[in-house]
Amino acid sequence: MTPLPAGVRDVAALAVSALLCAAPALAQAPPPAPPANAGPFSIPMSRPTAPGPVEPLPAPKRFVSKRAITVKGQRIAYTAIAGETWLYNRAAEPIGSIFSFSYLKAGPPDPRRPVMFVFNGGPGSSSLWLHMGVVGPRRVVLDQEVNPSNTPPFGLADNPHSLLDVADLVFIDPVGTGWSRVIGKGTNADFWGVDEDADAVAQFIELWLTEHRRWNAPKFVMGESYGSVRAAVLPRALMGGPLYVGYMRGITLNGVVLLGTTLGARNASGEAGAAEMRQALALPALADTAWHHGKIDRRGRSLEDFHQEVVAFARGDYVQALQKDKAGQLGAADRAAIGARLAAYTGLPASAYDKSLVVPDAEFARRLLADRGLQVGVYDSRYTLPLAGSGADPVADDPAMGRYVPGFIAAFHQMVADDLGVVMDRPYGAIVWRDLLPAWNWERRGVPPGQSFATDLAVAMRRTEKLRVLVASGYYDLSTHSAPAEYAIEQAGLPRDRVMLRRYASGHMLYLGDTAGAFADDVRTLIRDATQ
């Protein structure tokens, strides 16, 4: 759920490179090449397991409780199952343990009742944000929706927006997050990568369907932030094949829900104009933020009308100006005219665009309300903190993350202890960057180099003609902007009649700020349409 802002990502990338040079053990060895005569269906061999004996493993922990909740006027009794599920290598040896939280409606089995698998992003984030923010049966209560206090006590209450009325819910913490971990002969490299992670989560889903006898249930996945990448890749891992995971699972999905969506290729294409388009499509979120804080002349325009006007400018005159500027062909008069329009849309002075026609997200967050001595949040630009005195941590000092994270984590721990009776002997990794992020393997298998994750989703929608997708974005998200996500989907050619695009007056966690109900109802619409 927490991608780093663009400027910080560049610094982080340099730091990661230094780490990898200084510590070769962190670098991932390339997979062994297939034999020369392996043919067109060759795939890299599975990573060999560590030699020698392994200490006996304790049985997976499991905590079961029964509760009830009222959603949409319907009283729902449910069973909560929190616990570990082992993952296995091809030799049937346990190599990983995923801790999950399942909420199952009580009563006679209903083969038509959907099940939704939910996860956040990172990489390195647990699922507690969607769990406690909008989807689960219990929800954090902050003293106010925007700019809440970050000191206890925090509240915990039944969630009137929970999706338990329309689907059973399974919250997944990938290996390395939450209480999920490597076990037995497993290694971090078995799980820490785009394809490795998707394969592990797909195996968990396969095991869960078998344990709960739900193979014929309509199936949905929901992913936030990097979780949108996981959700886009998962259909291929769930189906399987000789060119991707190397075996056939044969699991198809009815629907995919993406929040805080980021679907562009990690190693962006060098296609002419691609970099300038990415820069241009960052503009609408900056303009939306200026609209919210009253830094531009709204002239009676609604937020959506204003947003669409800026998108049109970004995809037209602005990107063309950036391309001309890069080629050294933008005249002084044209440059000044573009700078004036940028100032009118972003609320920054025209002089902010004298040296460059692009202002990075983090810089914009510091400059927009500098005259008031405030910095806006990158993760939700409605939130503010004093500009002075920041420790410059891209997450802990972000005006949004720094405010709502403590309440979410405290409410989660209270819920798992008091409601679910979970007792564990190790800390819960809400978000884990250390070790995991620098070791993450972004290299793909079985797809063309530089392919966008939106293309993975397009492939899945071709294979499954009833698969539907909801792409949900926050206007005030400066970390994963809505315009680039929608552009990636357009470029990948997803069938528009099966894609719902929704924007909410919120930020990266788009269910904060009285928008949870609207988002939950849009998910209900997707489930209804996908199961007809």
The stretch 176-202 carries a mean pLDDT of 96
3-state secondary structure of 375: strand
pLDDT for the residue numbered 271: 65
What is the pLDDT confidence band of residue 265, given thresholds at 50, 70 and 90? confident
What is the pLDDT confidence band of residue 87, given thresholds at 50, 70 and 90? very high
488, two tokens:
């990636």
pLDDT for the residue numbered 18: 36
pLDDT for the residue numbered 40: 33
What is the pLDDT confidence band of residue 111, given thresholds at 50, 70 and 90? confident
448, two tokens:
């063309």
Nearest to 238 by CA among 225, 221, 258: 221
How large is the angle between the packed helices 332-346 and 283-292, nearest 10 degrees?
50
Using the CB atoms, write b or e for 386-408: b if 16+ within 10 Å: ebeeeeeebbeebbbbbbbbbbb
Return the bridge partners of 119, or none: 223
pLDDT for the residue numbered 43: 37
The stretch 76-100 carries a mean pLDDT of 96
Q: Which domains does the chain have, with CATH numbers?
A: 54-266+404-530 (3.40.50.1820), 274-398 (no CATH)
Q: Which residue would you say has higher pLDDT here, 347 or 25? A: 347
> Percentage of the chain surpassing pLDDT 90?
83
Q: Which residue would you say has higher pLDDT here, 94 or 32? A: 94
> Percentage of the chain surpassing pLDDT 70?
89
Q: What is the mean pLDDT of the chain?
A: 89
Structure confidence by residue, pLDDT tens digits, 33-48 = 433 333 333 333 345 4
Cis preceding-peptide flag for 123 (omega within 30 of 0)? yes
pLDDT for the residue numbered 274: 86
Answer whether residue 264 shows pLDDT above 70: yes
Structure confidence by residue, pLDDT tens digits, 451-474 = 899 999 999 999 999 999 999 999
The stretch 244-270 carries a mean pLDDT of 87
Alpha helices in 283-417 (DSSP H): 283-292, 303-313, 319-326, 332-346, 361-367, 401-414
